[in-house]
Amino acid sequence: MTDKLPPNLLALFAARPPLRWVEPSDHAPEKRRTAPIGGLAAYLPELQKYKETDDYKPTESWLEMRDRKKREQKEAAASLVTEGPKQFKPNEDPNIRGDAFKTLIVARLSYDADERDLEREFGRFGPIERIRIIVDTHAHEKPNKKKKPHRGYAFVVFEREKDMRGKQTPKPFHAI
């Protein structure tokens, strides 16, 4: 039946030539040129010498580092709770100026507002000692952040405490 096939298909059924003989890659032990293979017992004295002179310092894995950082944060928080009140001395802080009972915090300021606007608005309640609009002093460290003239809040320090409280009457509450 294969005699009826065309020659290109008959070529697929033709026998291949025999494989060439290659010498085996493994040689007999007596013909090997490499050092003879033995056990580890010959190296034990050298390993003992190395062990005595080696100064091993284990490295910290990322799991150990994570656990250490968590532990340090907890210890820092615990020490802050115990030591913080002992070290808190607001009367000795050079950044604190003025009396807290005379200070009014103004939040959600427009970015167009400045000291003159606050002076005009709050000056009608009484004389103002000073006004401080908080500015972002670390803006240069945040290059991608939108530039704003200030942080949006201010402190108004009045000369007298009763001026800070104001004389406004509360707005009446209307139930719906």
pLDDT of residue 79: 94
Q: Considering the chain, what is the average pLDDT of its residues? A: 86
**Average pLDDT over every residue of 14-39:** 84
Distance, first Cα to last Cα, the chain? 103
Q: Are 79 and 117 in contact (CB under 8 A)?
A: no
Confidence of residue 55 (pLDDT cuts 50, 70, 90): confident
pLDDT of residue 129: 92
pTM summary value: 0.46
- DSSP, res 168: P
Q: Say which CATH architecture domain 100-165 belongs to.
A: 2-Layer Sandwich (3.30)
CA angle 124, 122, 162 (to 5 degrees): 75
Kindly report, residue by residue over 88-103, the tens digit of the pLDDT: 887 787 777 778 889 9
Report the phi/psi class of residue 98: left, alpha or beta, with left for phi > 0 and alpha for psi in -120 to 50.
left
